[in-house]
Amino acid sequence: MKALSTAGATLFAHAEGEEVASLPLAGGHAAVASFRSPDKDTPNEDCALLVALTEDAAVIAVADGLGGLPAGEQASRVALETLAAALGQARADGLETRTAILDGIEAANRAVLALGTGAATTLAVVEIEGRRIRPYHVGDSIILLAGQRGRMRWQTVPHSPVGFAVESGMLNQSDAMHHEDRHIVSNVIGSNQMRIEIGPPLALNPFDTLLVASDGLFDNLHLDEIVERMRKGPLQQAVERLVRDARTRMTDGAAGAPSKPDDLTAVAYRLPGKRHGAERST
């Protein structure tokens, strides 16, 4: 996987390989996967960003350039490079991370608009500070937090007609997976109407798993399937399992199972437990 590192920021852009990267981050551990859709030869339009701020603070972000629009891969990369620059400047100026993220998202929107190509991207960002996290998102890339026993603690609502229909109870999750309008996104980076949704601060407990991922994952595995796979075992193995099973669905969907070839990017993060600072194997 192609990773570019500078000043504490690591950008995973236009990945085409088959490996899952694993690295320490903010007192915990992160695992990153980004793969091109199996049915195309054009670049992977997803990017992931990890920014280490201090020993116990960091930012994780995933951007998914919109397919069907020009330069999706450029939009996602520009958005994350702009966010990384804003975080670096804020650290130099002593500004709060929350301010830097909001300023960075606004600057990313201006930068993508300035491309002048009609390109757009989603953007999902998580601020980590010690044992607390805070999510921010634009679009339908999803942030979720699950406990070690498989309990869903929190997730974002996709900015899409289908996402809002599920949230309101008008559509169930199973039907949403197969809905003909699932690909429509109503809020993006690269729009004059862009809006940032800020989630609540959340406590991150030992062995909880935070996941930030593009819709290439969520269009091929049901939510309960994702949670079940990501909560078990060492973090890198959990992400490998998620990606393997989602990509199998993309190319060989069983009858009635979701199957939508797409670029797929996932970043998982977990704090260690108290026992020797290590992850449990189950």
SS3 per-residue string spanning 66-91: CCCCCCHHHHHHHHHHHHHHHHHHHH
Structure tokens at 266: 């996932």
C-alpha–C-alpha distance, residues 191 and 109, integer Å: 7
C-alpha–C-alpha distance, residues 252 and 11, integer Å: 31
The pLDDT of residue 275: 44
Structure tokens at 2: 């192609």
Q: Check if the beta carbon of residue 57 is closer than 8 Å to that of residue 97.
A: yes
Long-range contacts of 102-105 (CB under 8 A, 24+ apart): 102/136, 102/196, 102/198, 105/136, 105/138, 105/189, 105/196
**Mean pLDDT, rounded, for 271-278:** 60
Let me know how long the chain is: 282
Structure tokens at 135: 């999510």
Amino acid residing at 82:
T
C-alpha–C-alpha distance, residues 234 and 10, integer Å: 22
The pLDDT of residue 279: 47
The pLDDT of residue 242: 94
The pLDDT of residue 151: 86
Question: 171 or 235: whose pLDDT is higher?
Answer: 235
Find residue 3's DSSP bridge partners.
12
Q: Whole-number mean pLDDT of the chain?
A: 86
Structure tokens at 211: 């996941």
Nearest to 165, CA basis, from 154, 176, 156, 174: 176
C-alpha–C-alpha distance, residues 228 and 100, integer Å: 34
Ordered structural domains, the chain, with CATH: 3-270 (3.60.40.10)
Helix/strand/coil percent split, the chain, to 5:
30, 30, 40
The pLDDT of residue 41: 84
Q: Check if the beta carbon of residue 129 is closer than 8 Å to that of residue 55.
A: no
pLDDT tens by residue, 152-162? 899 999 876 45
C-alpha–C-alpha distance, residues 173 and 186, integer Å: 19
pTM over 0.85: yes
The pLDDT of residue 177: 54
Q: For 27-31, 162-166, 228-232, 256-260, which range has the lowest pLDDT when averaged over its residues?
A: 162-166
pLDDT exceeds 50 at position 281: no
